[in-house]
Structure 1
Amino acid sequence: MQEPSDNTSAATSRAVLFDSFGGPEALNLREVPAPQAGPGQIRVRVTAAGLNPMDWFMTSDADTAARFGLSLPCGFGTDYAGVVDQVGDGVTGFAAGDRVFGGAMSRAVADHVVIDVAGTIAAGGSVNRTPDGVEDRTAATLTIAGCTAAAALAVVAPGPGDTVLIGGAGGGVGVFAVQLARLAGARVIGTGSATSADALRALGAEPVAYGDGLADRVRALAPGGVTAAMDLHGTETAQTARELGVPDDRITTIAAQIDGITPANGANAAPGAIEEIARLVAEAQLRVPIAAAFPVEQIRAAVELQAARHVPGKVVIDI
């Protein structure tokens, strides 16, 4: 193993942990033994961690946590970005000092995270190189939301001539889905609150208020019809799309199951999808609005803000 430098050899590290599953009030910043990279692994000094709804959903109670294979004591957060500071035996392609980002399920909000170079987000962690020109805060938002958006687009395959209805367009996945659909040449109508309208326009979407009467409001915006839909929040957008005549094979959901409609899962994103998203960010073709950044000591406040689901963009933890 490549030996860590003197400033990375501390015996302890900090990590946000649950002593019992629950809401933000159950999160605590603890001192823990510093993890060490084993064979086939790297250790990353985490500088930023992006929050996602799945983070607090998975750990909201013991039964839900068990469905995801989580047990106490349990870490928190999945998206990370930082710098490699240890490289285990047998690892090629990464060296100490490399900037990286990726996903490590329910353990990313910590000073250090150990990643299996050949792993997946759910099993051992995933790792990608951070392109030049992409800061760590931004890189820390890419993996979960970017892969989920890419998977959703793959289901409905938007292109020139399409008008796509995106529900929850201003959320963490929505900011990627809107821009990717626009880059594919589609017109995008995005649902949101009245206060999110300007943010949606900045992404390239035409805003429409969610709630009762959504179908009528969409008809007024797109009298020629809607041809595809992505529901990134629940079922309202998917059901509205059906009402507007969109066929089931051009509708997808990410947070609900509807008979006849194919759900999208970031774990099924095409190989290379996250690298392509990182490239688009590096080339300024895709931007990630950071709604708020909190120091790790304020993890509870950060999760409360993100869990309210009214933030236009991403919430990031600085570590």
Structure 2
Amino acid sequence: MLHTEQARAVRFDRYGGRDVLYIAEVPIPRPAAGEVLVEVRAAGINPGEIGIRTGAMHERYPGTFPSGQGSDLAGVVTAVGEDVTDLQVGDEVLGYSWRRSSHATHVVVPAEQLIHKPGGLSWAVAGALYVAACSAWAAVDAVDPRPGETVAVSAAAGGVGTITVQLLALRGVHVLGIASAANAGWLRDHGATPVPYGERLAEDLAAAAPEGIDAFIDLFGPDYLQLAVDLGIPRDRIETIISFEKAKEFGTKAVGSVEASNRKVLTEMAELVASGRIEIPIAATYPLDRVGDAFAELERRHTRGKIVLVP
């Protein structure tokens, strides 16, 4: 990465498709009290960013223009504001920004939203960790699974799904991983029973769990909430991280990464990944200039794991 007086950042000035994204030259921000400046080495992308950029999530997360983008990040601290005592220049960190700003070469972040990067994590994995790992933690916590129970997970091979499956397996849960047939091998290798999505999904789930399904985690969309209700799963054990309106209609849970956004959860998840107990697959990495291509791949909805920008 070039060290200049200017930063480069993803921007968009109006709602729209990938074509509204561009790279802007902006002054390197300066940290205020309680903040640090991070030179970004990796920043994951997430489906929610598509909804924000297109305006589909305007009611919940309205845009302000020009808008930056991105929450996941990992990098090196290059400046420290007043009152920051636990981070210093040169520290390798990972964490998150709630200012839609991490898809950039430099970002200012409150120190409390960062942790030290464990040495065993690659930059790509560290930069992709926050949204997916904290969402998975929150989703699993919401259904409170016991060892021996059966939990179904939709989009089980996606960025959040791959982590959710592994967290459940660590708890001794029988996991039904709903995904394409191409992901069956990966799911089996990580402790799940693969169930291909399609017209026979309800029948296939019932066949895979003849004694019933105790809980359902939806990571894809409202049709899966309808399926979970139709299967007779108790509504207080049905969780979604994406279908907020449907969850409200059905009286099911909708807990996401915001509820798990703290240093304690982030540290726990980073340590699980660094120790090798959980794997975060990296589907692809892209330079900042190819942010549109990165989202084109994500929007195909068939990637296993995370897609990461490397400024």
CA shift in 2, pair 1:83/1:65, >3 Å: farther
Q: Partner amino acid for 1:160? A: P
CA shift, 1:31, in A, is: 1.1
Inter-partner Cα distance in structure 2 for 1:196 and 1:160: 24
Structure 2 residue aligned with 1:307: 299
CA shift, 1:205, in A, is: 1.6
| Corresponding position: 1:273 with 2:265 | yes
Cα shift readout 1:194-248 (whole Å, capped 9, x = no counterpart): 2222232233221111232211101111212211110111133333333333211
Inter-partner Cα distance in structure 2 for 1:240 and 1:68: 27
Structure 1 residue aligned with 2:135: 148
Structure 2 residue aligned with 1:182: 169
**Quick one: percent identity of the two aligned structures?**
38
| Corresponding position: 1:293 with 2:285 | yes
Equivalent of 1:59 in 36, 53, 61? 53
RMSD over aligned Cα atoms:
1.7
Structure 2 residue aligned with 1:12: 6
Q: Secondary structure at the match of 1:216?
A: helix
Structure 2 residue aligned with 1:49: 43
Q: Secondary structure at the match of 2:79?
A: strand
CA shift in 2, pair 1:67/1:219, >3 Å: closer
Structure 2: tracts of 5 or more residues without a match: none
* TM-score for the superposition, normalised by structure 2: 0.93
Q: Secondary structure at the match of 1:262?
A: coil
Q: Give the conservation status (yes or no) of the 8 Å contact 1:290–1:316.
A: yes
CA shift, 1:74, in A, is: 0.9
Inter-partner Cα distance in structure 2 for 1:289 and 1:274: 18
Structure 1 residue aligned with 2:69: 76
Structure 2 residue aligned with 1:4: none
- Alignment coverage as a number of residue pairs: 304
Cα shift readout 1:119-162 (whole Å, capped 9, x = no counterpart): xxxxxxx2122112111110111111111111111111112111
* TM-score for the superposition, normalised by structure 1: 0.90
| Corresponding position: 1:98 with 2:98 | no
Equivalent of 1:25 in 19, 23, 34? 19
Q: Secondary structure at the match of 1:164?
A: strand
Higher helix share: 2
Structure 2 residue aligned with 1:112: 106
Inter-partner Cα distance in structure 2 for 1:40 and 1:274: 19
Structure 2 residue aligned with 1:164: 151
Q: Give the conservation status (yes or no) of the 8 Å contact 1:49–1:318.
A: yes
Inter-partner Cα distance in structure 1 for 2:39 and 2:261: 28
